[in-house]
Structure 1
Amino acid sequence: MGLFALAAGFWAMGLFFMYCIYETHKARHIFSEQSIRYQGAIRSKELPLEAVRGYRTDNQYTHIVPVSKAYPGIRIGYTSEGYEDIQQWLADRFPDLDVQQQEQEAQEILQDDALGRTEAEREEKLLQAQRLCRVLNIAAWAVAAWLFFYPQPYSLATQAALALPPVALLAMFWHRGLIRADERKDSAYPSLASALFMPSLALLLRVLFDFELLEHTLVWPLAAAVAAVFGGLLAYGSWRFISNSASRWSALAMLLFCALAYGYAAPAAYNCAFDKAIPQVHQAAVHGKHSSSGKTTTYYLAVGPWGPRTTPEDVTVTKELYEQTQAGDTVHAYLFPGRLGIPWFSVEE
């Protein structure tokens, strides 16, 4: 029964995928002075021009937005024939709702007495926040690339990645209510999404690539505590946007991603990268090796029991060690106590 359900699920997914391809191939958008019509292989919908409120654009689609839910919305993929001409046709007739939203928010900022006594003072604060966000976001991309592609010196690159998200958080408190954690194309509020997330992501990838924790259960309580504190402070700094129903879910999603990534990566990276203790050295017999490929290739040695590990297991190693090691060889497992008391190890020749 389970195999039948699995097979049925795969068939359903395959049929749906084929339908999507066929629908995309047959779909047409017809523009007239009366309406915009979508004509697909099976379904169609029509939106009168007088019912069009405007349009929004993202990386994949132009969304034609109706004045109410009584009318259907229509989206046009960027691969559609004559896409640039369609965008120009829309721009000549309807407002760009992203630009309109930005202008409305910019006026809200300039009229917010909490940000300054005069409009000139409030405009200057907005410019300061924009410049600060630009600097921190550029720094975040630079640090993430440094840590991920060439982390030398390792401790300095790790320190920079550990420091940037808290610095971004402090910037949010300094300009509280003026800087958002998430990034929205239609918003006039400057964003620190890159400064909060990119260093955390780079740290997380380095931890996964470079270190093997002896027991992951030991890191979870600390990771949960860091995630709760960081996420709570981020929620406090983002409360203006969380309390707004229009931006609540994107703000909460970014808060969750940043809190979880930094919550795990920060204590794990600090525990391993700054552990200066002399390790215990154990010998482990190599039983075999294999690799897994995707966007990156990960190399594994199958090793026998060693030290506190009483069963055979796969351990990640460098490409160099993988290539020069064969089944029957012996490698050394270096067991470290961890700067935060979370034991970890590395396998070398």
Structure 2
Amino acid sequence: MDVFELSRGWKIAMYIMLGLFFAVFVSLAIFCFIDPSLKRVMVFMLPFSLVAIFFIVCGFLQIDEKVIVDNYSIRKESRLVNREILLNDVKGYRIDKNYVRILPHEGRGKKILASTYLSGINHLKALLAQRYPDLDVEETQEVYDEAIRQTGGQDAQKLMKQAKTEVYTLTGITVALGVLTFLYLDWYFLALFCCVPLSLLLLLRHKGLVQLDTSKESPLPSIFLIPFIAVFVPIMRSFHMHILQYSKVWPLAIGIAVALTVMLWLCSAYLNKKRGQYIVSAIFMSLIFFGNGYGLVVMSNAFFDKKGYEYYETTVTDKHISKGKSTTYYLTLEPWAHQAGEERESVDRSLYEEVGINDKVGVYYYEGAFHIPWYQVGRAQ
């Protein structure tokens, strides 16, 4: 019999961490009734604190969990969850960053999750690999076999090479256009956006040899990176384009996202739409499409506006740097012609370091090609 559980060091660390979180959220819940300043946000903070406390308590109950493998079954024992799968009822396993997932045949029990932080987890992986299939690898092979079958008996290797060449070429073009779009407000952003529908057409053209997204074991190329680059770069490029009215942005962005989502569905005719990975990727891709739409609308609104700008000046009342995975520089500005109140705006580092509190900055106001007013903050003239 093999027993897998957290080491003593991990248990102590978990108890300390969960204890600190428990104290924080209990304090927040109590202060919602004591501190008058928190009563206005009590409707949000109190439920959030209670939900957090619930999950922290569940975490305490799971710290002593054990996964036990003997000659008859695989069991998970804890104060919260107790499950068992007979060895002959195990269908296979999946491994991700946080868990080893042991899955039974349908109707033969519930899956067992073994944390990758359990002591001896590599031995558990080896035990499973000796007896059961890796379902991720098995699914990947099924997708590959189905894609080859749909080629109609033609030279599969030749078609695979052509599919990879086209996907990698379009990805390279997307990267190049992404760099140009980030550096220059020019037609490059339009060409970058066009890479998204072109990538979807590759799904249809290659009849399953090109996938929406793939696992690391799959030999099939994926288009997932192309829409991601096409959303990331324009949004970064438009970070300092401050929109005054979003009422005309959202309908256009949603319309573009819906159109691309419909195109994705139509171009996925040769893909297995029932696969869990496809469903998750398609949902995530729809969110990316919304970002594609937003970037296209904001960039087009600025690029096709040929009326020029109106110049205003305002005063800096405060400065702030936000540090995290990236550093963002903010200036708080006094009201000006098209802004009724004080507003904190993101600016580039050079402008942030150049101006001080009570200094003047320039506000460059544009009406926008789609009548979506926007402005940029720069140096005073």
Structure 2 letter corresponding to 1:169: L
User: Which residue pairs with 2:143 in the alignment?
Assistant: 105
User: Which residue pairs with 1:348 in the alignment?
Assistant: 378
Separation in structure 1 between the aligned mates of residue 276 and residue 343 of structure 2, nearest angstrom: 49
Output aligned runs, 1:96-245, within 5 Å: 96-112=134-150, 115-116=151-152, 119-137=153-171, 140=174, 146=179, 151-153=182-184, 155=186, 158=189, 161-184=192-215, 190-207=221-238, 209-241=239-271, 243-244=273-274
Separation in structure 1 between the aligned mates of residue 201 and residue 310 of structure 2, nearest angstrom: 40
From 78, 97, 110, the counterpart of 1:59: 97
Asked if structure 2 preserves the Cα contact closer than 8 Å seen for 1:37 and 1:46, the reply is yes
Structure 1 residue 13 and structure 2 residue 52: aligned? yes
Question: After the TM superposition, which of the residue ranges 155-164 and 12-21 deviates more from structure 2?
Answer: 155-164
1:139 Cα offset (Å): 5.8
1:12 Cα offset (Å): 4.3
1:257 Cα offset (Å): 1.7
User: Which residue pairs with 1:74 in the alignment?
Assistant: 112
Separation in structure 2 between the aligned mates of residue 188 and residue 253 of structure 1, nearest angstrom: 23
1:66 Cα offset (Å): 0.4
CA gap 1:76/1:222 in 2 versus in 1, 3 angstroms? same
Structure 1 residue 312 and structure 2 residue 347: aligned? no
Q: Secondary structure at the match of 1:216?
A: coil
CA RMSD of aligned residues (A): 3.1
Separation in structure 2 between the aligned mates of residue 210 and residue 4 of structure 1, nearest angstrom: 34
CA gap 1:139/1:21 in 2 versus in 1, 3 angstroms? farther
Structure 2 letter corresponding to 1:296: S
Separation in structure 2 between the aligned mates of residue 225 and residue 6 of structure 1, nearest angstrom: 35
The number of residue pairs the alignment matches comes to: 340
Normalising to structure 2: TM-score of the pair? 0.77
Structure 2 letter corresponding to 1:298: T
Separation in structure 2 between the aligned mates of residue 348 and residue 74 of structure 1, nearest angstrom: 57
Q: Secondary structure at the match of 2:339?
A: coil
CA gap 1:4/1:262 in 2 versus in 1, 3 angstroms? closer
Asked if structure 2 preserves the Cα contact closer than 8 Å seen for 1:161 and 1:203, the reply is no
CA gap 1:5/1:104 in 2 versus in 1, 3 angstroms? closer
Structure 1 letter corresponding to 2:107: K
Structure 1 residue 35 and structure 2 residue 35: aligned? no
CA gap 1:103/1:224 in 2 versus in 1, 3 angstroms? closer
Asked if structure 2 preserves the Cα contact closer than 8 Å seen for 1:62 and 1:76, the reply is yes
Structure 2 stretches of 5 or more lacking a match? 1-32, 34-38
CA gap 1:141/1:94 in 2 versus in 1, 3 angstroms? farther
Separation in structure 2 between the aligned mates of residue 163 and residue 4 of structure 1, nearest angstrom: 45
1:282 Cα offset (Å): 1.0
Asked if structure 1 preserves the Cα contact closer than 8 Å seen for 2:171 and 2:226, the reply is yes
Structure 2 letter corresponding to 1:324: E
Which string of whole-angstrom CA distances, capped at 9 and with x for unpartnered residues, describes residues 152-175 of structure 1?
356487456434323312323422
User: Which residue pairs with 1:95 in the alignment?
Assistant: 133
Which string of whole-angstrom CA distances, capped at 9 and with x for unpartnered residues, describes residues 209-261 of structure 1?
22112322232232233222222222211244474365562243034123211
1:303 Cα offset (Å): 2.0
Structure 1 residue 294 and structure 2 residue 328: aligned? no
CA gap 1:291/1:57 in 2 versus in 1, 3 angstroms? same
CA gap 1:265/1:17 in 2 versus in 1, 3 angstroms? same
User: Which residue pairs with 2:368 in the alignment?
Assistant: 338
Which string of whole-angstrom CA distances, capped at 9 and with x for unpartnered residues, describes residues 90-125 of structure 1?
11111111222222232222322xx33xx2424432
1:195 Cα offset (Å): 1.3
Question: After the TM superposition, which of the residue ranges 44-53 and 77-86 deviates more from structure 2?
Answer: 77-86
Q: Secondary structure at the match of 1:202?
A: helix
Output aligned runs, 1:256-271, within 5 Å: 256-271=286-301
Asked if structure 2 preserves the Cα contact closer than 8 Å seen for 1:110 and 1:123, the reply is no
Separation in structure 1 between the aligned mates of residue 224 and residue 44 of structure 2, nearest angstrom: 42
Q: Secondary structure at the match of 1:26?
A: coil
Which string of whole-angstrom CA distances, capped at 9 and with x for unpartnered residues, describes residues 180-233 of structure 1?
3244567675421111223212322332x2211232223223223322222222
Structure 1 stretches of 5 or more lacking a match? none
Separation in structure 1 between the aligned mates of residue 216 and residue 347 of structure 2, nearest angstrom: 42
Separation in structure 2 between the aligned mates of residue 170 and residue 241 of structure 1, nearest angstrom: 13
User: Which residue pairs with 1:26 in the alignment?
Assistant: 64
Identity within the alignment, %:
26
Separation in structure 1 between the aligned mates of residue 373 and residue 291 of structure 2, nearest angstrom: 21
Structure 1 letter corresponding to 2:344: D
CA gap 1:69/1:133 in 2 versus in 1, 3 angstroms? farther
Structure 2 letter corresponding to 1:133: V
CA gap 1:80/1:268 in 2 versus in 1, 3 angstroms? same
